[in-house]
Amino acid sequence: MHVVLFIISMLFLSLLVSDPNPEHATLPAAISIVTFVFSLLFWRDHRLNDEFSDWIVENRERLKQDGLMFNGILIDDQTEFIQYEVCISIAYISYRGKTAYYVNGHHFTTVYSLFFSMYCLIFGWWALPKGPLNTIKAVMHNIRVQPRKLNSVVNEIIVNRMKPSA
């Protein structure tokens, strides 16, 4: 997702550079800046998710027994995690994916839910026919998402790692 956003940002930046007329610069500049900021945020989210997934799989037995600290947060078998969905659409292509795991009660999960839902509403509906459907599904998921316990999250991470990469 972050790569797609970075490419979109660079495309709008190239439009900005190719048209010397300052009257036409406002919209491409705004889109370029917004998509670049979102690409950085999603790159960070992706990196944190990979780091956390590696850590949780490596330490899964100790986590179930005693719990361990991860970035100042105690992770044990009672810890509840929330994962949101995001959607981005361009022309005929619509992509819906998952964010990193967030710890319920530690992270500002309500703010994250609003952020990811607003992102979907801004960037998700642009592809027909799947864009609006994926946007609605992602926003509804973010509204209805329920916290999940450690064992469920560990199992999902392991299953996802066993799937062949596309």
pLDDT of residue 2: 74
5 against 138, higher pLDDT: 138
Pairing outcome for strands 80-90 and 73-75: unpaired
pLDDT digits (tens, 9 = 90+) for 45-79: 999 999 999 999 999 889 888 899 998 999 998 99
Q: Who wins on pLDDT, 121 or 19?
A: 121
123 close to 91: Cβ distance less than 8 angstroms: no
Own/partner pairs, 39-43, CB within 8 angstroms, 24+ separation:
39/2, 39/3, 39/5, 39/6, 39/9, 40/2, 42/1, 42/2, 42/5, 42/86, 43/2, 43/6
What tens digit of pLDDT does each residue of 106-154 get?
Answer: 888 889 999 999 999 988 998 888 999 999 999 999 999 999 999 999 9
Question: Would you say residue 81 has pLDDT above 80?
Answer: yes
